[in-house]
Amino acid sequence: MTVPIEYYVLLSMALFCIGLFGILTRRNALMFLMSVELMLNAANINLIAFAFYHGNLTGQVFALFTMALAAAEVAVGLGIILVLYRNFRDVDVTVPTTMRW
């Protein structure tokens, strides 16, 4: 007895939207990063669930790559947050607004 695929997908979507919620409401850059990670992992859930659903491994392997790329993204992201902090003494993403309009 397996759990129907819909539940996985709903779960992943919930996770996705939670991540999105974080992005939309949080001002801390690190929180922002974490939220993005949530969203990426939501995709991973999907991939793995669908891999099982379709009975091929493509999704699973791809999920591995996604994780690697997520890590790479975080690495660069942290670097940027670092220089952000050096320049603005803050990691609030809403602070840098020197350029607008």
Q: According to CB under 8 A, which residues from 18 to 47 bind another protein?
A: 18-21, 23-33, 36, 39-40, 42-44, 46-47
Decide if residue 1 touches another protein (CB under 8 A). Answer: no
Q: How far is the CB of 28 from another protein (least distance, A)?
A: 5
Q: How far is the CB of 17 from another protein (least distance, A)?
A: 4
Q: How far is the CB of 34 from another protein (least distance, A)?
A: 11
Decide if residue 67 touches another protein (CB under 8 A). Answer: no
- Sign of the C-alpha dihedral, residues 12, 18, 23, 29? negative
Site for another protein in 72-91 (CB under 8 A): 72-73, 75-89, 91
Q: d(Cα 47, Cα 54) in Å, to the nearest integer? A: 10
Q: How many residues bind another protein (CB under 8 A)?
A: 81
Closest by CA to 48, choosing from 93, 75, 9, 88, is 9
Cβ–Cβ under 8 Å, residues 67 and 44:
yes
Closest by CA to 62, choosing from 72, 49, 73, 75, is 49
